[in-house]
């Protein structure tokens, strides 16, 4: 007992450097309450359980956190492990402390079926906890850090699970909060528990290398120190250690060798003011040559989590030297991140952080999240992760966290997973509900992409995607697809025109093809065919050049008159309705299967299909010669839009009756609009999707049979 009391007294001594006696006594009271609650409980190591909450409070004291956080650290396992209700804590220590303890308990209680689920769900809980009170997460991080430090006695399976969870969830959260010191320790402890052999191997290699590099490190440090003294600049120079997990990740993901990583000598120079940071930078650059493109000024443009520093890489003594230059305040914020906000401000000693306003703004952003969430069980769908304003975090259905720029859509998400998934995307679910592919995503949503074999990117996607990967992938696929389709359509049209001249493409010699290619000044015969498919050349004229045996005439107007006759002799081109980018249907006459149709070649856009009777078609010989006669394929299953005009007597429920009649005939209403009406009559405009003329006749018959309908007709402009 005496030893434990001495330990709490040691903590009290440390706290006296920044807390007043009244607050220290409150922390002490929380300790004795927890000690009593945990009486008789032991840790796996054989120590009394109370040593754990005390150690967690010690970690938070190093961060100079407020007394309520320290009290919550003492009591953080009381609700969960001893059965004492939250109300009892409210009575003893007030609402704030009880809320903190309850928040930490809720995070600890989460049970997961799989690691992937843990990653997504726990991240959601974390964000909500941060929204309610950021200190919940600080207590939880300190709790996890002490558990990782004392992981040894745990069973093997549990050790692996805790280590994996630490690397997946807690270290990234610490990093996001700018708490570099805790993040790196969690990473290294997690790494050595998960991969003990790899950790041991890298650790030994680092020790060995450090020994052989000691002289060169000392020499660089000496020269930097000399240069600072020469210019009268204050600054302490520290060597920066490479962390085991960071070395391993660089070797694994960046495919760098151990020596490649370790041959960079890293130093940090801490000075007293921002001005001196830039002066020290100048001094370092006068000593060694800076590497171009490797300088970063995070003082003028801090990172989103408040981190500030100057980074530069120099080349000297045949090695690369990385230097970070920052003030004491910046160093404090770099190591402790958001925890720096709760550093006790003792006005007498003037202890404060120069970066306080930035951290305040950041915390304000987190507190706004709290207002958006109705209760602690309402997860992240109502909470925006505000730590990085330019990024959003969404989850795959398996719980993997994807980081995307703000404003990203499900299409960006699909391409971020894999190009093939992006190319085959047809729809998406956001939080299990079907949603539009163009809808901007919000942080915390779970996004599932629905793919279909043979699906292709839609050109309209380029109007809303924002990631470079999505944009370039869509453009590349569309370009390739347009080329394939233009070749296919061009070949069909050319074969048809050749048939009108009584020739076949297979009969044309390579010499004839080459002569026509040269005459038309294109690179290849494929380019020529592609041009026909794109609508940039007439199939009839190219066919005539091919059969003229090298007699290449100019495209004179008189020849167009003969084209109509030659075209009539050729077989009609079959249209399936799914030809792709280079075949489109005219919006003026909206042709459907069964309508007599013709194709008009539109320069650069391919073929536009019109109804044979469309008023917009040319009626002179030259114009008719440019038309392509088309047939519909027999087995078309696609739907086509048709506009109908229905005149009816006004009656209650008549619109619903019309809609029901269309549905009974298996039609699909895309739009319904009441255009003109008086007391007795009305005109309804309908856009209906049908499979063809027979289907349309069935729909019109059903609608016509309604007693109130006086007339129904198909609209063609």
- Tokens standing for 255? 């495919």
Q: What angle do CA 94, 97, 100 make, to 5 degrees?
A: 145
- Tokens standing for 440? 């901007």
Say if residues 346 and 20 touch (Cβ distance below 8 Å).
Answer: no
374 is catalytic: no
Give Dmax (Cα) for the chain.
Answer: 114
> Following DSSP, what letter does each residue of 474-541 receive, concatenated?
HHHHHHHHHHHHHHHHHHHHHHHHHHHTT--GGGS-HHHHHHHHHHTT-S-HHHHHHHHHHTSS-HHH
Say if residues 526 and 542 touch (Cβ distance below 8 Å).
Answer: no
Question: What whole-number distance in Å separates Cα of residue 63 and Cα of residue 77?
Answer: 21
- Tokens standing for 544? 């005539």
End-to-end CA distance of the chain: 95
CB atoms within 10 A of CB 558: 8
Angstrom CA distances, 59 to 53, 149, 643, 708, stand at 10, 12, 72, 81
What residues are paired with 526 via a beta bridge?
none
Nearest to 291 by CA among 316, 324, 269: 316
SS3 255: coil
Active-site hit among 9, 35, 66, 81: 81
Question: What whole-number distance in Å separates Cα of residue 480 and Cα of residue 126?
Answer: 45
81 is catalytic: yes
Active-site hit among 80, 297, 526, 657: 80
**Judging by DSSP bridges, how do beta strands 627-632 and 597-602 pair with one another?**
antiparallel
Residues that are catalytic: 80-81
């Amino acid at each position: 007992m005496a030893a434990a009391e001495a330990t709490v007294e040691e903590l009290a001594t440390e706290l006296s450097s920044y807390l007043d006696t009244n607050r220290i006594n409150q922390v002490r009271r929380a300790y004795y309450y927890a000690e009593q609650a945990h009486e008789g409980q032991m840790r796996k190591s054989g120590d009394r359980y109370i040593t754990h909450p005390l150690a967690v409070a010690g970690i938070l004291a190093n961060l100079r956190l407020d007394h309520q956080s320290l009290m919550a650290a003492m009591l953080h396992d009381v609700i969960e492990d001893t059965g004492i209700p939250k109300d009892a804590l409210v009575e003893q220590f007030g609402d704030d402390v009880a809320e903190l303890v309850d928040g930490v308990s809720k995070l600890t209680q989460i049970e997961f079926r799989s690691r992937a689920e843990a990653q997504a769900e726990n991240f959601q809980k974390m964000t909500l906890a941060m929204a309610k009170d950021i200190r919940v997460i600080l207590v939880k991080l300190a709790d996890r850090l002490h558990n990782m430090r004392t992981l040894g006695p745990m069973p093997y399976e549990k050790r692996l699970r805790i280590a994996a969870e630490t690397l997946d969830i807690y270290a990234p959260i610490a990093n996001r909060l700018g708490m570099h010191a805790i993040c790196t320790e969690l990473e290294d402890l997690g790494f050595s528990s998960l991969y003990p052999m790899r950790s041991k191997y890298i650790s030994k290699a680092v020790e060995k290398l450090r020994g052989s590099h000691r002289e060169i490190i000392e020499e660089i440090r000496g020269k930097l120190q000399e240069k600072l003294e020469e210019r009268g600049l204050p600054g302490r120079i520290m060597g920066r250690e490479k962390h085991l997990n960071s070395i391993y990740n660089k070797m694994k993901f960046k495919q760098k060798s151990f020596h490649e990583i370790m041959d960079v000598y890293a130093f940090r120079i801490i000075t007293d003011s921002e001005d001196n940071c830039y002066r020290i930078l100048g001094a370092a650059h006068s000593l060694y040559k800076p590497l171009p493109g490797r300088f970063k000024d995070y003082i003028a443009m801090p990172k989103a989590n408040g981190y500030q520093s100057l980074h530069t890489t120099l080349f000297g003594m045949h090695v690369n030297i990385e230097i970070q230059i920052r003030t004491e305040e910046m160093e404090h914020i770099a190591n402790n991140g958001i925890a720096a906000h709760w550093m006790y401000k003792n006005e007498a000693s003037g202890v404060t952080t120069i970066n306080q306003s930035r951290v305040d703004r950041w915390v304000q952003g987190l507190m706004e999240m709290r207002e958006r969430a109705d209760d602690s069980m309402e997860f992240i769908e109502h909470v925006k992760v505000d730590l990085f304003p330019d990024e959003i975090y969404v989850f795959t259905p398996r719980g993997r966290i994807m980081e995307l720029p703000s404003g990203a859509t499900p299409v960006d998400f699909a391409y971020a997973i894999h190009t093939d998934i992006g190319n085959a995307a047809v729809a998406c679910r956001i939080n299990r509900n079907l949603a539009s592919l163009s809808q901007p995503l919000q942080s915390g949503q779970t996004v599932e992409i629905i793919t279909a074999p043979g699906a292709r990117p839609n050109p309209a996607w380029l109007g809303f995607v924002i990631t470079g990967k999505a944009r370039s992938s869509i453009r590349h696929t569309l370009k390739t697809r347009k080329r394939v389709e233009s070749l296919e359509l061009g070949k069909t049209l050319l074969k048809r025109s050749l048939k009108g001249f009584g020739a076949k493409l297979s009969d044309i010699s390579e010499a004839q093809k080459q002569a026509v290619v040269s005459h038309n000044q294109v690179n290849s015969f494929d380019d020529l065919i592609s041009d026909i498919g794109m609508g940039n050349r007439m199939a009839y004229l190219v066919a005539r050049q091919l059969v003229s045996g090298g007699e290449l005439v100019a495209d004179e107007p008189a020849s167009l008159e003969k084209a109509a006759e030659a075209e009539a002799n050729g077989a009609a081109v079959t249209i399936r309705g799914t030809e792709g980018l280079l075949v489109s249907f005219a919006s003026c006459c909206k042709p459907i299967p069964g309508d007599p149709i013709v194709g008009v070649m539109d320069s650069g856009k391919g073929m536009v299909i019109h109804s044979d009777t469309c008023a917009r078609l040319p009626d002179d010989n030259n114009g008719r010669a440019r038309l392509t006669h088309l047939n519909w394929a027999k087995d078309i299953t696609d739907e086509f839009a048709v506009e109908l005009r229905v005149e009816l007597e006004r009656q209650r429920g008549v619109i619903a009756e019309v809609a029901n009649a269309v549905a009974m005939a298996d039609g699909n209403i895309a739009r319904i609009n009441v255009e003109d009406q008086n007391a007795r009559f009305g005109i309804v405009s309908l856009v209906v999707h049908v499979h063809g003329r027979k289907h349309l006749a069935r729909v019109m018959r059903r609608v016509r049979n309604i007693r109130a309908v006086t007339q129904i007709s198909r609209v063609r402009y």
